[in-house]
Amino acid sequence: MQDAMEGLAANPSLPERLFEPLAEMGDADVRHILTLRDVLTELQARILLAYDDVDAYSLIARGKVPWAEVPRHDTSMLLAAAQAGIAPDTVVRELAVHHDPEVRGELASYVTGLPSDVLATLARDADPAVAAQAAETSELATDLSEELARHPHVVVRVSLAVNSRVPPAVLATLLADGGTPAPTRCAACHRRTEGCSNHMPGIRRIRMAAAANPAVPPVGLTDFLDAQEAQIPAEIAERTDLPATFHARLATHPTAFVRETLARNPSISEALILQLTEDPDPDVRLAVAMNTSVPLSYLTALAGRRRLPAEPLPRILTATEAELYELAASRVAQIRALAAVHPDLPQTLVDRLAVDPDIGVARKIAPSPKLTGHQLTDMADRHGPPVYGAIAQNPGCPAAVLRRMARDTGSARKALRAVAAHPASPPDVIETLLTNPDPRVIHAAAAHPALPVETMERLLAGLAAS
């Protein structure tokens, strides 16, 4: 029953007259789903706001409540109104000097488009936690960024260092030495009269944060390629603007995770790609398969001896037509399956792979919108339930095939969930799936926009009577 109510709450075709009864019968989870509906009238928002368990902040922040109805006595609601952009600037300025630093910090963290003077006020807040949150916003002016780079507190400079919208020149200063002058306060000493005698650990934190920022100029990153904190060189290894000398060093990093990240980088040379195909760690060798520049011969060799990632490989997405024909002609089923997931496969290959005897290939080609209803029907006849889930993902799946899959007792839950959510599923099929024992199938069926209104009414009546 709960799954049916949650599905109805998400159903875009739910009649307005059923909204209030559903909100009344449902629990907090059902009402939460109702708050997330794309179309929510002011009347419906008022209905939801009458319940104590409804997230009023979310409703206001998403602009579902007019400013006139926002409670003025509740600071969190005022913050939500600021987030929605409906609070007057006078209210926003009052929040920026609120006595509670958490309020000021939330204003800095969650509200975009703040007036420049408000952002400056928050950046200069006496509480370093508030200033740090302001330092992470994407709307800092250059002069304010430069000012924060000289902030006495480490935590503020760390927050600034991770902000990818900060000017590169400012990031370069933080990367070089943590910023000049050196910070004088940190989390360990900012509440004490005397400061720490040594802020070198804090300065390192600032530099490490800057090193991980993709906007920092590559010059100066050399000191971090061998960092013991593997996350930093891994972040660097993702960048596509590095000199080849950086790649060569990262390829020998002692942590496999760093080499694995580098292996996916499309900017590394073919020679380095080939080097990483011989890496002692199997995850690194597999990561090479995700590189857009990996030689096709390596992919086919790898596919012949181990399972590849389920998602389409970047190299396959850039394959030429000749390469696709070569893949589709392979005697190895997983290699043929590589070609089957290409989004713009030539029709002749679609037709060839549609009759492939291997179930794995059939699963890969089944979602292709280039398949006809006849081909999908034939595929369902040939392979049966093992391919139903993939066939049900095809936008052109005929209603007759969807009905057959819904009635087949051998259909897997995953297939039935896809049938229940398919736009072409007939109303009678959707109604049948409402009685399925799988909660996710019931949810998908109840959320289907083609579910008849009479069925929605019966469903609610039955839920009310139970």
pLDDT digit string (tens) for 376-410?
999 999 999 999 999 999 999 999 999 999 999 88
Which one is predicted more confidently, 303 or 341? 341
Residue 326, domain member (yes or no): yes
| pLDDT value of position 233 | 95
Cis check for the bond before 181: say yes or no (omega within 30 of 0): yes
Residue 186, domain member (yes or no): no
Banded model confidence at residue 120, pLDDT cuts 50, 70, 90: very high
Q: Average pLDDT in the 152-162 region?
A: 96
How many domains is the chain partitioned into structurally? 1
Handedness of CA 305, 308, 314, 318 (dihedral sign): positive
Banded model confidence at residue 194, pLDDT cuts 50, 70, 90: low
Q: Average pLDDT in the 143-152 region?
A: 96
The domain in which residue 335 lies consists of 308-365
Banded model confidence at residue 1, pLDDT cuts 50, 70, 90: confident
Q: Average pLDDT in the 218-224 region?
A: 91
pLDDT digits (tens, 9 = 90+) for 234-275: 999 999 999 999 999 999 999 999 999 999 999 999 999 999
Q: Is the pLDDT of residue 188 over 90?
A: no
Q: Average pLDDT in the 277-284 region?
A: 93
Q: Average pLDDT in the 167-177 region?
A: 95
Closest CA to 84 of 105, 113, 109, 104: 113
**CB neighbour list of residue 301: distance below 8 Å, 6 or more residues apart:** none
Q: Average pLDDT in the 87-103 region?
A: 97
DSSP character at residue 343:
T
Residue 302, domain member (yes or no): no
SS3 content of the chain, % helix, strand, coil (to 5): 60, 0, 40
| pLDDT value of position 206 | 95
Residue 159, domain member (yes or no): no
pLDDT digits (tens, 9 = 90+) for 404-430: 999 998 889 999 999 999 999 999 999
**Per the structure block, which two tokens stand in for 421?**
């959510």
Banded model confidence at residue 308, pLDDT cuts 50, 70, 90: confident
Q: Average pLDDT in the 327-339 region?
A: 93
Residue 333, domain member (yes or no): yes
| pLDDT value of position 193 | 62
Banded model confidence at residue 301, pLDDT cuts 50, 70, 90: confident
**Per the structure block, which two tokens stand in for 275?**
């080097």
**Per the structure block, which two tokens stand in for 50?**
């009458």
Q: Average pLDDT in the 218-245 region?
A: 92
Q: Is the pLDDT of residue 455 over 80?
A: yes
Residue 344, domain member (yes or no): yes
Q: Average pLDDT in the 460-465 region?
A: 81
Q: Average pLDDT in the 302-318 region?
A: 84
| pLDDT value of position 135 | 97
| pLDDT value of position 310 | 75
Banded model confidence at residue 287, pLDDT cuts 50, 70, 90: very high
Q: Average pLDDT in the 115-122 region?
A: 96
**CB neighbour list of residue 348: distance below 8 Å, 6 or more residues apart:** none
| pLDDT value of position 463 | 77
Q: How many CA atoms lie within 13 A of 418 on its CB side?
A: 20
Residue 195's beta-bridge partner residues?
none
Residue 323, domain member (yes or no): yes
| pLDDT value of position 190 | 66
Which one is predicted more confidently, 399 or 201? 399
Q: Average pLDDT in the 50-72 region?
A: 92
| pLDDT value of position 52 | 92
* Average per-residue pLDDT for the chain: 93
Banded model confidence at residue 462, pLDDT cuts 50, 70, 90: confident
Q: What is the spatial distance between Cα 284 and Cα 288, in angstroms, rounded to a whole number?
A: 7
DSSP character at residue 153:
B
Residue 355, domain member (yes or no): yes
Banded model confidence at residue 303, pLDDT cuts 50, 70, 90: confident
CB 116 within 8 A of CB 126: no
Chain-centroid distance, C-alpha 124:
33
CB 131 within 8 A of CB 148: yes
Q: Average pLDDT in the 29-34 region?
A: 95
The amino acid present at 302, given as its one-letter code, is: L
